[in-house]
Amino acid sequence: MLKQMQFDGEVVVVTGAGTGIGRATAVALAELGATVVLVARTKANLDEVKSAIENSGGKAEAFAADVSNEADVGKLRDFVSQKWGRAKAVINNAGNNFISPITDLATEKWRELIAVDLDSVYFMCRDFIPLLLKSPKPAILNVASTFAHIGNAHMPVYCAAKGGVVSLTRQLAVDYGPKGLRVNSICPGPTLSPRVKGYFDSGRADPAGTLQKVMLGRFGECDEIGNVAAFLVSDAASFVHGASILVDGGQTIN
């Protein structure tokens, strides 16, 4: 199994790789021997992650892009195609959230979040599937959320977008499984990413109330999500397909 988890220099593209779960996922992949293409909007964050990976003996390339922008995704695809000709896996992790009841939610805010949380997955899958199909045993992993499966107060657009990610994942699994491309989603529960910490620090969310719903009685750490993500795009997960994997400390069983 340990051999099947090694990437042997194969290219894995990770969006939202500058911080949080994306960064932790990229670090885990690099430790397993992947050449990680780090993608995010903020170049300074990418450069810091790239340096950390290289200082630990790993391989990484940084590409600043807004994956909610169709043209940027096209440039990213061209970069990967011209440099390597194919990709082993794509992890669509980029996303955002804000808290607002639907009656206070402006149309532009709805569209803004749908763009980064759902449209980006569409753009990335559409543009990278041809490159993935050039690799043996390729994989796509789309990062959704437990809120694709359960409701949460005052997050209508986030819940809708993440539900769409899970449904799109299942549909792509139907189309591309026969061609050898595995497509799965991962649904993190409450995780102490910088964004979530910001909600707690600002008082916009209640950590005590959130913890009451988690059977392990604690928040997840970003590397706990990243480790599962790296496994799911490795050959060790070769029969996991069309699945929505909950990594939530038991939140959704409560």
Q: How would you write the pLDDT of the chain (254 residues) with one tens digit per residue?
A: 899 999 999 999 999 999 999 999 999 999 999 999 999 999 999 999 999 999 999 999 999 999 999 999 999 999 999 999 999 999 999 999 988 999 999 999 999 999 999 999 999 999 999 999 999 999 999 999 999 999 988 999 999 999 999 999 999 999 999 999 999 999 999 998 877 676 677 766 777 888 899 999 999 999 999 999 999 999 999 999 999 999 999 999 98
Active-site residues: which are they?
A: 158
The reply to whether 252 falls in a domain is no
| pLDDT attached to residue 204 | 66
Query: Could you tell me the CATH number of the domain that includes residue 162?
Result: 3.40.50.720
The reply to whether 3 falls in a domain is no
The reply to whether 234 falls in a domain is yes
The reply to whether 254 falls in a domain is no
The reply to whether 217 falls in a domain is yes
pTM value?
A: 0.96
- Give the number of other CB atoms < 10 A from CB of residue 149: 17
The reply to whether 204 falls in a domain is yes
The reply to whether 18 falls in a domain is yes
Question: Distance (Å, rounded) from C-alpha 235 to C-alpha 248?
Answer: 23
SS3 per-residue string spanning the chain: CCCCCCCCCCEEEEECCCCHHHHHHHHHHHHCCCEEEEEECCHHHHHHHHHHHHHCCCEEEEEECCCCCHHHHHHHHHHHHHHCCCCCEEEECCCCCCCCCHHHCCHHHHHHHHHHHHHHHHHHHHHHHHHHCCCCCCEEEEECCHHHCCCCCCCHHHHHHHHHHHHHHHHHHHHHHHHCCEEEEEEECCECCHHHHHHHHHCCCCHHHHHCCCCCCCCECHHHHHHHHHHHCCHHHCCCCCCEEEECCCHHHC
Residue range(s) defining the domain that contains residue 224: 11-247
Take residue 86 and report the two structure tokens written for it.
């194919």
The reply to whether 2 falls in a domain is no
Domain count, the chain: 1
